[in-house]
């Protein structure tokens, strides 16, 4: 055997993992080549040194210190940790906006309260229940004016001098995405915008709970990671059993909050009876 | 192993203490041999704190040792390279070995430490490092050869 090939087999030779004939050929090459022989001796010595140092025991008190550090952490999966993760996802701008809205609302309320009251006391009456707008169904098609004004009971005195009560505009909500039907023959892709740095872990949990797996386009299992400014986007595929596809679809819709789009691009290889979903997640 | 993860999932605090007790030496050794004595303990602790968080999400049939080794490798790889280690604290022979290991690039160091110090199989190392078996063997071999040359600098180069 040539010295070059023999040198490339030195590790396996020393580990005694070479087939017998190959090991004999390496031994012959070592006997022939002084440099190769020196390599073997030096490598042998290195292995002996590594064997001698062996595994090192963790420092004294490491166990107790680590358990104490862990005890100081929020309990994973607890409501506190859940709340912390959710709060971390709320952008600062949104918090500022909500704060400004609250301050404005309070200011407006005080302004209204300080207005001179009407000399004619408004009679007291109970506000009748407002009829709930009906969502469009096949039997009752939606119309823009499905909200009916409340009818003041005839027994109540008419508040002639009272200012007209401003009622908040009620709008009929458009159908939420989770009402979208799921067609197993039409694979879908979902977008999760502003998912937070832990979004891939959430998706992995969802896959786990659905009995599925997260893979790349080649079908290789993906280990979730935290997203950050440098890696703020990830596209993953969730493969689940067809029996769980509809419920997975519903949960993905809920998490995404957006209408999915057809998955036309490449897909990972699937086993019989499996369904794939694509998820594009953003920090 | 599955029972241990089930206990962790159910919130049994003693379960993680068992994991820590059984794996802390190997995780610490990997950190020590790859990062040096200055950073080993801190990184090792970080690994277990992260593991405590992550274990609540892993599947029950997860191999704990592989999971911990993968997590350790990820923390070692993301750890910023430090300055010169103070090897005086180590035993003479150990300091020589540590010096030779420090001369290896991290991918080779990881492979050699797992194989020759932690005695992990090549297949297990390949799994932890997410490499093919051939690449893993090549890294182990090149790491050993580089260390051998570090020990005997007058050896011929390949």
Provide the token pair at A45. 């010595």
pLDDT over 60 at A144, yes or no: no
Stretch 24-63 of chain B: residues touching chain A, C-beta under 8 Å: 24-29, 32, 41, 44-45, 48-49, 52-53, 55-57, 59
CB contact under 8 A, A50 and B97: yes
How far is the alpha carbon of B113 from chain A, nearest alpha carbon, in Å? 8
Chain A residues in contact with B45 (beta carbon < 8 A) = 62, 65-66, 69
Nearest to B155 among A39, A63, A205 (CB): A39
Chain B residues in contact with A70 (beta carbon < 8 A) = 16, 48-49, 52
Q: What is the C-alpha radius of gyration for chain B, rounded to an integer number of angstroms?
A: 17
pLDDT over 90 at A82, yes or no: no
Summarised one tens digit per residue, pLDDT across range A185-239 is: 788 888 888 888 888 888 888 888 888 889 888 888 888 888 877 677 888 899 9
Rounded to two decimals, what is the model's pTM? 0.53
Q: Judging by beta carbons within 10 Å of its beta carbon (0-12, 13-18, 19+), is residue A206 exposed, middle or buried?
A: buried
Whether A215 contacts A239, CB under 8 Å: yes
Candidates B148, B149, B152, B153, partner chain A, best to mutate (most A CBs within 10 A): B148
* CA–CA distances in Å: residue A140 to residues A148, A181, A255, B101, B122: 15, 20, 30, 76, 68
What pLDDT is attached to residue A5?
A: 81
Taking CA–CA distances from A226, the nearest residue in chain B reads: B54
Whether A260 contacts A254, CB under 8 Å: no
ipTM: 0.85
């Amino acid at each position: 055997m040539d010295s070059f090939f023999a040198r490339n087999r030195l590790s396996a030779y020393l580990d005694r993992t070479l087939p017998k004939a190959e090991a004999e050929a390496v031994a012959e090459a070592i006997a022939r080549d002084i440099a190769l022989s020196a390599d073997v001796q030096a490598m042998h010595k290195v292995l002996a040194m590594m064997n001698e140092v062996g595994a090192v025991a963790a420092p004294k008190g490491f166990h107790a210190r680590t358990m104490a550090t862990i005890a100081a952490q929020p309990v994973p999966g607890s409501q506190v940790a859940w709340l912390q993760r959710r709060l971390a996802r709320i952008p600062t701008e949104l918090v500022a906006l909500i704060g400004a809205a609250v301050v404005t609302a309070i200011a407006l309320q005080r302004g209204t309260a300080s207005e001179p009251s009407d000399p004619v006391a408004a009679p007291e009456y109970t506000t009748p229940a407002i009829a709930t707008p009906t969502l469009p169904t096949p039997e009752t098609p939606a119309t823009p004016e499905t909200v009916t004004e409340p009818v003041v009971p005839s027994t109540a005195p008419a508040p002639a001098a009272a200012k007209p009560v401003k009622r908040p505009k009620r709008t009929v909500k458009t159908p939420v995405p989770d009402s979208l039907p799921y067609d197993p023959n039409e694979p879908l892709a979902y977008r999760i915008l502003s998912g937070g740095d832990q979004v891939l872990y959430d998706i992995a949990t969802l896959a786990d709970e659905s009995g599925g797996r997260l893979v790349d386009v080649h079908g290789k299992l993906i280990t979730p990671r935290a997203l950050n400014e440098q890696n703020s986007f990830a596209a993953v595929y969730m493969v689940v059993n067809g029996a769980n596809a509809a419920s997975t679809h519903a949960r993905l819709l809920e998490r995404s909050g957006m209408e999915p789009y057809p998955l036309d691009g490449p897909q990972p290889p699937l086993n019989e009876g499996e369904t794939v979903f694509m998820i594009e997640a953003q920090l | 192993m599955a029972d241990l993860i089930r206990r962790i999932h159910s919130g049994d605090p003693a379960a993680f203490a068992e994991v820590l007790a059984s794996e802390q030496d190997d995780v610490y050794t990997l950190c020590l041999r790859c990062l040096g004595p200055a950073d080993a303990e801190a990184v090792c602790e970080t690994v277990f704190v992260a593991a405590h968080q992550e274990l609540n999400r892993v599947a029950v049939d997860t191999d704990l040792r592989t999971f911990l080794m993968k997590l350790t490798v990820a923390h070692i790889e993301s750890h910023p390279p430090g300055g010169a280690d103070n090897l005086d604290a180590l035993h003479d022979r150990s300091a020589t070995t540590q010096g030779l290991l420090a001369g290896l690039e991290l991918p080779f160091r990881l492979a050699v430490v797992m194989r020759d110090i932690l005695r992990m199989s090549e297949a297990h190392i390949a799994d932890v490092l997410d490499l093919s078996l051939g690449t893993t063997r090549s890294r182990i071999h090149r790491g050993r050869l580089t260390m051998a040359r570090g020990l005997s600098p007058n050896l011929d180069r390949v």
